[in-house]
Structure 1
């Protein structure tokens, strides 16, 4: 039986915890393996299992648990509002090698929150109380929550934080924006710091943790037990290793453009198959490259040219020109100001990520 009062040990004792944020359509078994190759976080979280009255255990998400070769614990995330079905799926998942059950109270995608799930539930603390109470009774191991500060304001924040305490949640991952703020506003680190003081469990600070230096600054400002990193880990899979190095006073690994090209090739090999049409393979790779490209060149020429590619030959030819013409040039630790990712779809940006 899983311990309900202790989290799995971190990779480096005495340092802050790190976690890869779950991102729908991104953090599958393949991407987790790629991240692990460059330096695992302390914890992984699955894409969310969508829970309703006819739902089961989605096979492609279940692979992130049953085929996990990262050497690190994986939490299984659920999203839904049907109390009985959330309990049913949580109990079914408890028979697999998971670190715990995580409840999604943060997804900001309109098509999700309009169904009163994910971030939509932040409008209804009474329903959150019912869900957490039922899950706490049913889950004998760890129960964790990933949430935002509120739906369109923070009026319910303290009440929901008190529910985190009442139901003995083991870990809270808190994105420092409301649902309506999406990813556009400044992150309210002061409210994450407030949550750290109010709840009894460890808190992972989430939102704009774009580098190891940023992680250190967020930890200092919030007093959180650790950081959860999402989109920045797509751009820079070395970020967890670099964060441990920075926090322990070691030199931070310098990443070259040649190393980034190797990372892209690794993504290509594990994320696409010949059975998928070329157009779909190109589109899938562009989703990753929209993030990676933010640190390739300051003017965004790589992003602009990459987005115009229609074939794999064009796409990877662009990668070669920009990344291998001066392969020893450092890859920027932070994204260049003004260069933003353009997601493939709503879900690639939304999930419960950074």
Structure 2
């Protein structure tokens, strides 16, 4: 079965399709492998391949599609605005065993949107129209798009949906916020529902999928064919399996504190390299623990202390202090203040 056939088979099932979101500097091959060990997604999206006139396929991302360890379909995501370069890259990506090529129209990082790429393109619907037309002709596997609902104004979404439909994209993922809303606002799930009604292709809902119960609420509210989960999967790698259990009416198995502690150890081993200085390894882990820490305790004390540790020993001593117990943990995020949320906006999906 080819990756495209595999994705078609997943979409033919009655269960919602569960995708791991593309997150820059996070969703690499080791992270994919780790997620698979905890139940895993149905579909895995790569970090975005940066595309411009002189770009080449990034060596750090290619192994995800060349050596895909998940047993599930992989989608290669591109970001850029130069049509010849996007077409060239799409053709190069199709030399690998991928189910789809995805265009990023949602990245909210200023360094990206100021170059009129990612979410920045949402300010130019006519340019999106031209890009999609060229890519539709170039992509022989499935062609998909991940978008937000606008740049600074969601009114543009009504102009975008007919453009997406015109080019017969095969799947649309909608993050229900504008670019400038980043991750701070509530998610506008009603806009995702509008996309479901307007599009003939499957639509995935993205944004604040924080638990199996919340996943069910989003699916009911939007009518989406499935869900794309990003930061929530960093915090709770059991979530994909928990959603399936909830869908099947089975008891949801919650990890205990020591299970979460073991996950942190496995995550450290997966995403750090021995040749990298320990201080840098610890700094890299803090990026992940910024999200996981939201579900550890409500005061923010864990996050505050975690951001100040400097060594591996200090890091794991702190984690053990909070997690070396046998109590079940939902890992749903506790409400933190705006300053903490701003810090956590640094992983872009």
- The interval holding the TM-score normalised by the smaller chain is over 0.9
SS where residue 10 of structure 1 aligns? Answer: helix
**1:249-264 correspondence runs (5 A):** 249-264=249-264
Aligned partners of 1:275, 1:252: CA distance in 2, in Å? 39
Query: Offset of 1:12 from its aligned partner?
Result: 9.7
Cα 1:5–1:282 shift into 2, 3 Å = closer
Aligned partners of 1:139, 1:3: CA distance in 2, in Å? 14
Q: Which runs of 5+ in 1 are unaligned?
A: none
Paired position in structure 2 for 1:22: 22
Query: Offset of 1:13 from its aligned partner?
Result: 3.2
Q: Which runs of 5+ in 2 are unaligned?
A: none
Aligned partners of 1:307, 1:342: CA distance in 2, in Å? 14
Query: Offset of 1:5 from its aligned partner?
Result: 9.7
* 2:190 corresponds to 1:190: yes
**1:53-92 correspondence runs (5 A):** 53-92=53-92
Checking the alignment, whether the CA contact within 8 Å between 1:6 and 1:170 is kept in structure 2 is no
Deviation string, structure 1 residues 301-324 (Cα, Å, up to 9, x no partner): 222221221111111111111111
**1:227-266 correspondence runs (5 A):** 227-266=227-266
Kindly report structure 1 stretches of 4+ aligned residues shifted beyond 6 Å. Answer: 1-6
Aligned partners of 1:138, 1:210: CA distance in 2, in Å? 36
Paired position in structure 2 for 1:200: 200
Paired position in structure 2 for 1:336: 334
Query: Offset of 1:265 from its aligned partner?
Result: 0.7
Paired position in structure 2 for 1:349: 347
**1:1-354 correspondence runs (5 A):** 7-10=7-10, 13-324=13-324, 327-338=325-336, 340=340, 343=343, 348-350=346-348, 352=349
Query: Offset of 1:229 from its aligned partner?
Result: 0.6
TM-score for the superposition, normalised by structure 1: 0.94
Query: Offset of 1:342 from its aligned partner?
Result: 6.3
Deviation string, structure 1 residues 158-210 (Cα, Å, up to 9, x no partner): 22111111111000000000001111111111111111100111000001111
Aligned partners of 1:57, 1:119: CA distance in 2, in Å? 21
Checking the alignment, whether the CA contact within 8 Å between 2:254 and 2:330 is kept in structure 1 is no
SS where residue 284 of structure 1 aligns? Answer: helix
Aligned partners of 1:82, 1:45: CA distance in 2, in Å? 22
Aligned partners of 1:226, 1:252: CA distance in 2, in Å? 19
Aligned partners of 1:159, 1:4: CA distance in 2, in Å? 29
Aligned partners of 2:135, 2:13: CA distance in 1, in Å? 30
SS where residue 75 of structure 2 aligns? Answer: strand
CA RMSD of aligned residues (A): 1.9
Cα 1:322–1:85 shift into 2, 3 Å = same
Deviation string, structure 1 residues 237-261 (Cα, Å, up to 9, x no partner): 0010000111111111111110011
Checking the alignment, whether the CA contact within 8 Å between 1:3 and 1:142 is kept in structure 2 is no
SS where residue 41 of structure 1 aligns? Answer: coil
Aligned partners of 2:11, 2:131: CA distance in 1, in Å? 32
Cα 1:63–1:6 shift into 2, 3 Å = closer
Checking the alignment, whether the CA contact within 8 Å between 1:20 and 1:228 is kept in structure 2 is yes
Cα 1:273–1:3 shift into 2, 3 Å = closer
Query: Offset of 1:334 from its aligned partner?
Result: 1.2
Deviation string, structure 1 residues 64-114 (Cα, Å, up to 9, x no partner): 111111111110000000000000000011110001100000000111000
Aligned partners of 1:239, 1:301: CA distance in 2, in Å? 24
SS where residue 55 of structure 2 aligns? Answer: coil
Matched length: 347
Cα 1:140–1:167 shift into 2, 3 Å = same
